[in-house]
Amino acid sequence: MLERNPVQILAVAQESWAAALLVAALLACFACFGYALSAADIAGHRLPNRLIARWLLASVIILSLLGAVRMDFWPVLRALFGMALLCGGYLLVSVVSSGALGMGDVKLSSVLGLNLAYFSLASLFLATLLAFVMATLFVLLGTILRRLTLKSAVPFGPFMIIGALIALFVAR
């Protein structure tokens, strides 16, 4: 089956209503958990493990059911690969950057990798690029306006989530 973004899956008449409901549930999880995690990261520079774990569990269930409904488990395997790939990449950046990227961001990357790679690996790479570019632009603008320094702690989770949402709707 061709890779499609969530909007394309919702729009395709050949897809079953069950697949459309599961994709809608996946997008609802993105909205609810994404908002809660972003708010927590902005408020306290922490991404709560319980929220990440719940989002991961919901994603595994929804994506497994989506694979079963569509009778196509290759995207589920790709999702697991994407989860490992993105989590490993963020872990490497966290270790190399001496803690500039926190373990909450690494854990969040596993959930985002799982969700993004189900639809395409291109969305995975685009989301990562967007997150780092948006965060860099935010820090540069904050530095120019003298509200931040290059050493300021900036919550990265919201940039990851926004980048993932954009990539979900843009990438194929």
pLDDT, tens digit, for every residue of 12-35? Answer: 545 688 888 999 999 999 999 999
- What distance in Å separates the CA atoms of residue 38 and residue 50, rounded to the nearest whole number? 14
Instruction: Please check whether residue 30 is in contact with residue 114, taking contact to mean a CB–CB distance below 8 angstroms.
Output: no
Residue 60 to residues 81, 111, 118, Cα–Cα distance (Å): 13, 9, 11
Whether the pLDDT of residue 7 is over 70: the answer is no
Whether the pLDDT of residue 36 is over 90: the answer is yes
- What distance in Å separates the CA atoms of residue 121 and residue 81, rounded to the nearest whole number? 9
Q: Residue 148: pLDDT band by 50, 70, 90 thresholds? A: confident
Radius of gyration for the alpha carbons in the chain, expressed in angstroms and rounded: 16
CB 85: neighbour CB atoms within 10 A? 19
Whether the pLDDT of residue 2 is over 60: the answer is no
Number of H helices and E strands in the chain, helices first, is 7, 0
- What distance in Å separates the CA atoms of residue 169 and residue 130, rounded to the nearest whole number? 13
- What distance in Å separates the CA atoms of residue 26 and residue 61, rounded to the nearest whole number? 10
What's the pLDDT tens digit per position in 70-111? 888 999 999 999 999 999 999 999 999 887 889 999 999 999
- What distance in Å separates the CA atoms of residue 148 and residue 136, rounded to the nearest whole number? 12
Sign for the pseudo-dihedral over CA of 161, 54, 72, 114 = positive
Give pLDDT, residue 117: 95
- What distance in Å separates the CA atoms of residue 168 and residue 154, rounded to the nearest whole number? 24
Q: Which of 47, 28, 25 is nearest to 36 (CA)?
A: 47
The pTM is what?
0.88
